[in-house]
Amino acid sequence: MADRYLHLTGTAPGRFLTRRLGLPQPAPLRRWTLETPHLEGPLLHLTAGASAVAGVAESLRAPGLTVTDRADLAARPAAIVLDATGVASAVGLGDVHAALHPVVRSLAPGGRIVVLGTVPSPDDHHQAAAQQALEGFVRSLGKEIGRGSTVQLVRVPAGATADAAESTLRFLLSPRSAYVSGQVIELTAAAPDPVADPAAPLAGRTALVTGAARGIGAAVASVLARDGAQVIALDVPGAREELERTADRLGATALPLDITAPDAADRIAAAAPDGLGILVHNAGITRDRRLANMPADRWASVVEVNLDSVLRTTDELLKAGAITRGGRIVATASIAGIAGNTGQTNYAASKAGIIGLVRSLGPRAAADHGVTVNAVAPGFIETKMTAAVPFFIREAGRRMNSLSQGGLPVDVAEAVAWFAQPGSTAVNGQVLRVCGQSLLGA
Ligand code: NAD
């Protein structure tokens, strides 16, 4: 459903009126297109104190951006990366202020700020305090920066090579992360897998996407196909026509199958005889009622589709070796699973369960199978599901985030595609909120 308010604030009279009334000023977001695939302009590389990660400058080679450490630029920076990995004390935090305070106003609209930190140490509470402080800093700056710009914290562990961070920085420093802000991503030290063709980084990989007939799942299938994957699009047999239309459009294979079927994993494995490189658990349902009014079947169906079938098929496919080494599993959580939501005890429980799943399984799946496990947690995304929400609740959902607008299915899909990159081996057990920094939840 069109966001008429966003359209209104894009006109001069609309902007004037809404400013006078003190209403939100959403900036149109620059998303990936074939014509404008990159941010363009200077990338200002700053350091707070001494860097604790060797060679991080090399990982900043994002296409379209020219790295410089000179703050006195003629052109506004399109992005600023602050290396704060060496900040280990409360006093050291002063270097963060000293580095960013003079330049933050010069960031171009739709710009990016990425703060590089490291993992708070269990053995050094001064370092832990300073590194944890960066989280509060980034989340606050995300709320005040405005003009469609975003701010993130990437934690690079001591001992990681800078190339472990490269795919993450490329994603965050690109139009693909337009609706991601205020996020903390903690990397492992794992080295990236090689990419043969940067224009088609997923070439040679088979990706299965559940719930792919429409909405977010169809967008995920489309972006994975754009990036070179051979896609199998799965949805319930009742959605066969829509599924086949989507699959035909993308050159994908349609697999009409209810993911809760007892033989679902076997049928998925049979559909990908050479193994799956990417498994995206996207299918999801809501059956809202307050707990006091919720019959057991509404509870059970939501937990079955959103969580239990994800656990079961993941276990069975991993056990059967149907997910290839270097493989990627991406599940779909929700802001509701972080913040909770009236009438959604079943849905929020199932989505919080997804978060538990990826955090626990990620490290073990990497050790045992060479597979990463991550989740996206969408906020308010413009789909048929949210178009059905009553007007005032929908408007509140759209505006209650730092970017003052709803996201698009493609925003979630771009995050899934980043998790799926061969270069993202160091991204594991993470939950990325794609929510424009929603005011709800952590
Ligand atoms: P949607 O209802 O438009 O699409 C979901 C798809 O999943 C449908 O095509 C449906 O047929 C399919 N599906 C449902 N049960 C299935 C089953 N048993 N087996 C196979 N396929 C099944 O929803 P959407 O808005 O595109 O949401 C996609 C995912 O994102 C869901 O997991 C949802 O919970 C999550 N999510 C969405 C939003 C949002 O704002 N739209 C926010 C947070 C999380």
Q: Is residue 201 in contact with ligand 1, taking CB distance under 6 Å?
A: no
| Residues 88-142: tens digit of each pLDDT | 999 999 999 999 999 999 999 999 999 999 999 999 999 999 999 999 999 999 9
User: Is 350's C-beta closer than 6 angstroms to any atom of ligand 1?
Assistant: no
Q: What is the pLDDT of residue 216?
A: 97
> In this structure, are strands 431-434 and 372-378 parallel, antiparallel, or unpaired?
parallel
The neighbouring-strand residues paired with 289 are 344
Closest Cα to atom 10 of ligand 1: 211
User: Distance, CA 409 to ligand 1 centroid (Å)?
Assistant: 11
Phi, psi angle pair for 88, to nearest 5°: -130, 10
Ligand 1 pocket, 59 CB below 6 A? no
Q: Is the CB of 322 under 6 A from ligand 1?
A: no
Do 409 and 219 form a contact (C-beta atoms < 8 A)? yes
Percent of the chain with pLDDT over 90: 81
**Candidates 285, 304, 309: which one to mutate for ligand 1, based on the most atoms within 8 Å of Cβ?**
285
Ligand 1 atom, smallest distance to 306 CA: 32
Catalytic residue list: 347
Judge whether residue 304 has pLDDT over 60.
yes
Q: Helix count (H) and strand count (E) of the chain? A: 15, 13
H helices present in 180-332, as ranges: 215-226, 240-250, 264-271, 296-303, 309-319
Distance 218 CA to ligand 1 centre (A): 10
Would you state the pLDDT for residue 218?
98
Lowest-confidence segment of 38-52, 123-137, 259-273 by average pLDDT: 38-52
The 10 Å CB-count burial string (b at 16+, else e) for 292-312 is: eebeeebbeebbbbbbbbbeb
For range 378-388, the mean pLDDT: 88
- Whole-number Å distance between alpha carbons of 356 and 151: 26
- Structural domains of the chain, with CATH: 1-25 (no CATH), 31-186 (3.40.50.720), 206-434 (3.40.50.720)
- Taking the centre of ligand 1 as the mean of its atom positions, its distance from the CA of residue 434, in whole angstroms, is 15
d(CA 418, CA 224): 10
User: Reduced to 3 states, what is the DSSP secondary structure of residue 333?
Assistant: coil
283 lines ligand 1 (CB under 6 A): yes
Residue 383 Cβ inside 6 Å of ligand 1? The answer reads yes
Pairing of strands 112-117, 372-378: unpaired
Span 242-253, pLDDT tens digits? 999 999 999 999
Rounded to the nearest integer, the mean pLDDT of the chain is: 94
pLDDT recorded at residue 284: 97
What per-residue confidence (pLDDT) applies to 1?
A: 61
